[in-house]
Structure 1
Amino acid sequence: MTQIIHHLSEIASSYDALFCDLWGCLHNGVTAFPEAVAALRDFRQSGGVVVLLTNAPRPRASVAEQIAGMGVPEDCWDTIATSGDSARAAMFMGAVGSDIFFIGEDRDTGFFEPMAIVPDPVPIRRVPLEQAEGIVCTGPFDALADPEVLRPQLLYAKTKGLTMLNANPDIVVDRGDVREWCGGAVAALYERMGGKTMSFGKPHPPVYDLARRRLAELGRDVSDDRILAVGDGIATDIQGAQGEGLDSLFVTGGLAALETATDVHPGEEDLRRFLSANPVSPTFAIGKLR
């Protein structure tokens, strides 16, 4: 049964590392959450390691720059693992060919920057859909438009038998008070149409492998039973943690704030109903990361 807690400090001593989600937990897409920053800072000061584990479809350096602009200080985290880096590695190893049709916003073109960790990378060329061997999706062209507007291109791609490499399995995020579509929504539509997809962020294993490698880069050997996954996505953060055998802390005041009647804390009965409708069960729940 999921235990509701009020502060991370109540359980922090049981863990040596956090795999912490960003959007909805540490920031809202516009600005950092001060209480969350303080909680992560306290965890690090007590000897813990914080890996920011995000479905951002971009290199980690880009994410570090982005969150700094939102007011997330460097002293509340140690390293970053992104779905973008996990997917980029697969792309440069030839997962969807060399000639790529790109679905995403201009700000995500850093996805195609070279990766030193991939020896002998496949040369990648961005081409029109008619010439493509595969698709890379970091999100829709317009995050506010229903993904259905992409149906004509996706139907053509499916007819050609193209595989879509999806760099962000999230379906939606909330940027401030505005809900936006993500790559997961595009990939889900393509799958419903009969198209083949490959996904590399939470809840899929490759990004967790990357997070563990980031821990190893820091010289920290942390067993799975001492890692706590923190996130507000029941189908990404929590499902992914459960699949990896990790304990999890569900931040109910993010994507599921309405369903769990979260103000400061989730409503116990509302949380129970919400979780009963999902195939996963978080170890802990908290209204906001604090």
Structure 2
Amino acid sequence: MTDLDALDPRYTTILCDIWGVIHDGHALYPGAAARLARWRGEGRRIVLVTNAPRPAEVVAAQLARLGLADDCWDGISTSGEAGLAALLALSAPPGLLGTRRDRADLETRGLAFADKGFTDLAVTGLDDARPSVADYTGQLEAWARQGVRFHCLNPDRVVIHGGVAEPCAGALADVYEALGGRVAWYGKPHDAIYHHALGLAGDPPRDTVLAVGDSLVTDMLGAAGQGIDALFVRSGIHAGEPWPDDFADRHGLGDWHPIALVDGLA
């Protein structure tokens, strides 16, 4: 029996990360779908929580293509969903930094974009032509001088895509803040995505919620900040690294620590 098989029944809601826990960008991890199905069969509510900068229905379609049945989860909360309401409430259309696919996905939800003269910028990640964060330095410097507010729709700094590390919007946001630019953050570890995810679960008491994730600075830090217990999956982005014993001290978390460290959901 593993820590997963003996999961405390008080955890009636599970907020489960997707990339690095359920799949690697190309395929589902062995046993992940079966674990989610088992947890649901035990009467637990499963909300998938991801820093994907796109609407939930787009993520659901991707999961279906990878072979994850929709009876393995109850809801999906994305950083894109968490940021959409704020972007739609702006008095003028924002600019966009991201891929053509990201633009099309957000436009399906009624978000329009300006190509110039904007004061807000929706950032889903790097664009289709420039693969390195360094490629954006001049552009970020100009936006910072103009006072453009940077809406980071994916706080991840890097993602492992089929075994290859790829930079994300969070890496651009770090540079922008260092340049003195203003950044609005959506997604883990920030509040908005947790409020959205817990709302999908019916706003359960925090002591009945368990977060499952593979990232220290998003999944673990986010859970601790929300007063939620966490399960750390050490085969994702931090594969091969030991749990940092100074994690709680470094972030002012007292004696917080994950309830267990596991190698995957199998």
Q: Do the aligned residues in 2 keep the contact of 1:259 with 1:274 (CA within 8 Å)?
A: no
| Structure 1 residue 53, shift from structure 2 partner | 0.6
Which among 55, 61, 66 is matched to residue 65 of structure 1?
Answer: 61
In structure 2, what is the Cα distance between the partners aligned to 1:12 and 1:72? Answer: 25
Q: Which residue pairs with 1:170 in the alignment?
A: 156
Q: Which residue pairs with 1:120 in the alignment?
A: none
In structure 2, what is the Cα distance between the partners aligned to 1:246 and 1:125? Answer: 36
Pick closer, same or farther for the CA change 1:278–1:177 going to 2, 3 Å. farther
Q: What's the TM-score once normalised by structure 2's chain length?
A: 0.92
Per-residue CA deviation, residues 84-124 of structure 1 (Å, 9 max, x unaligned), is: 01101110111xx5232210011112123336xxxxxxxx5
Per-residue CA deviation, residues 38-60 of structure 1 (Å, 9 max, x unaligned), is: 11111100100100011111110
Correspondences of 1:180-195 after superposition (within 5 Å): 180-195=166-181
Correspondences of 1:1-290 after superposition (within 5 Å): 6-94=2-90, 97-109=91-103, 110-114=105-109, 125-129=112-116, 131-142=117-128, 145-216=131-202, 222-260=204-242, 271-273=243-245, 275=247, 279=251, 281-290=257-266
Q: Do the aligned residues in 2 keep the contact of 1:137 with 1:165 (CA within 8 Å)?
A: yes
In structure 1, what is the Cα distance between the partners aligned to 2:250 and 2:234? Answer: 14
Runs ≥4 residues deviating over 4 A? 272-278
In structure 1, what is the Cα distance between the partners aligned to 2:222 and 2:84? Answer: 20
**For structure 1, which segment, 142-151 or 241-250, has the greater mean C-alpha deviation from structure 2 after superposition?**
142-151
Pick closer, same or farther for the CA change 1:80–1:14 going to 2, 3 Å. same
Pick closer, same or farther for the CA change 1:187–1:272 going to 2, 3 Å. closer
Kindly tell me the number of residue pairs found equivalent between the two proteins: 261
Q: What's the TM-score once normalised by structure 1's chain length?
A: 0.85
Per-residue CA deviation, residues 182-201 of structure 1 (Å, 9 max, x unaligned), is: 11011111011111100110
In structure 1, what is the Cα distance between the partners aligned to 2:112 and 2:73? Answer: 35
Amino acid at match of 1:111: L
In structure 2, what is the Cα distance between the partners aligned to 1:114 and 1:77? Answer: 23
Q: What secondary structure, in the 3-state scheme, does the structure 1 residue paired with 2:31 have?
A: helix
Amino acid at match of 1:104: G
| Structure 1 residue 128, shift from structure 2 partner | 2.6
In structure 2, what is the Cα distance between the partners aligned to 1:7 and 1:76? Answer: 20
Amino acid at match of 2:169: G
Q: Do the aligned residues in 2 keep the contact of 1:143 with 1:181 (CA within 8 Å)?
A: no
Q: Which runs of 5+ in 1 are unaligned?
A: 116-123, 261-270
| Structure 1 residue 76, shift from structure 2 partner | 1.2
Pick closer, same or farther for the CA change 1:252–1:277 going to 2, 3 Å. farther
Pick closer, same or farther for the CA change 1:103–1:272 going to 2, 3 Å. closer
RMSD between superposed Cα atoms in Å: 2.0
Q: What secondary structure, in the 3-state scheme, does the structure 2 residue paired with 1:63 have?
A: helix
In structure 1, what is the Cα distance between the partners aligned to 2:133 and 2:4? Answer: 37
| Structure 1 residue 289, shift from structure 2 partner | 1.7
